[in-house]
Amino acid sequence: MAKDDEYDEESKIRDKRKIDPETGDARPEPQAEDGAPADVESAEDLVQAEDADVELSDTDMALLAEAERDLVGEYRERAARAEAELKNFRTRVERDRQANREAVIAEVIRTLLPAIDDLDRAEAHGDLTEGSPLAIVASKLRGGFEKYGLTRVGEKGEPFDPKFHEALVQLPSPDVTVQTIADVIEVGYALGERLIRPAKVAVSVPA
């Protein structure tokens, strides 16, 4: 009989329903012998419940403060890197915009160079008399180009530079020690550091 009683005691089914099926009333919360809630079934649960009210030690606070400083430093570094990248991007955009602007201006001037050449020829033949309509047009046209930084390339007597000059004729001369421009056949033009058209020249070379 002792064994049967022990078996019956262990095999009892605990009714954990919160509503009494017979009366329909709410049942009171079951309490353990030490006063703790009955649903805290292990020592680990008790430890976790108690840890919620435990204050952090000075060491833990110091570690948290150090972690916070590291995190703030990391975000500051990321912000500085992003700002530097944005600045570089703006610089590249501005440089590309300026290069595109100069390319467009150079292309427009290149299409008008034949008209400038005609004005130069007219001036060489004495057709651009002071005060004449053609002289006024030539003056305005040249002034407009100079406003954009257009400069002439190739002058008689200056050293020959293949980067800016195109030699059409070479003339041996005992009067020069280096290749020198003897005559300018067609004037060249440059826009800033951009060469629009090389000057076509005759070059004196050492005999």
Q: Helix, strand, coil % (nearest 5) of the chain? A: 50, 20, 30
Could you tell me the fold of the domain covering 151-207?
Nucleotide Exchange Factor Grpe; Chain A, domain 2 (2.30.22)
CA-to-CA distance for 172 and 158, rounded, in angstroms? Answer: 16
Provide the pLDDT for residue 45: 54
Q: If you write DSSP's letter for every residue of 131-200 in order, what string do you get?
A: T-HHHHHHHHHHHHHHHTTEEEE--TTSBP-TTTEEEEEEEEETT-SS-EEEEEEE-EEEETTEEEEPEE
| Cα gap 199→158, rounded to integer Å | 12
pLDDT score, position 32: 53
Binned average pLDDT, 10 residues per bin, the chain of 207 residues = 49 60 65 51 51 64 80 87 92 90 88 89 83 85 86 92 93 91 93 90 92
| Residue 188 and residue 164 in contact, taking contact as beta carbons nearer than 8 Å | yes
- Cβ atoms of 189 and 152 within 8 Å: the answer is yes
Task: Give the domain ranges of the chain.
Answer: 75-148, 151-207
* Length in residues, the chain: 207
Query: Cβ distance 153 to 188 under 8 Å?
Result: yes
Q: β-strand 199-206 against 150-153: which pairing, if any?
A: unpaired
| 3-class secondary-structure state, position 102 | helix
**Cα–Cα distances in Å, from 105 out to 74, 189, 198?**
47, 13, 17
Q: What angle do CA 83, 85, 86 make, to 5 degrees?
A: 65
| 95 token code pair | 């440089």
